Structure 1
């Protein structure tokens, strides 16, 4: 699961095997719940895209 918090440098990813946690996080996002990201460990993935020339 990924989310971007405004700027491209604020692009985060997490992984889980729990479908229920993903559904709860998405519904929390839709409802605007502030703690929806807390159950996960998020990694900034902007470094995966740095230097990419698009080819």
Structure 2
């Protein structure tokens, strides 16, 4: 369970970092502050990576 969440967080924030390179730093900062949907996306990411860990 903990490993899945860690992997999901790493993947999710790697995706956000790639988006941040394309988008402005202010936009990515606003995204990182949007915790409710970040938590939803984190759980989605955990569901996606679960078969691989």
Give the TM-score normalised by the residue count of structure 1.
0.31
Q: Which has the higher strand share?
A: 1
Structure with larger RCO (C-alpha < 8 A, sep 6+): 2
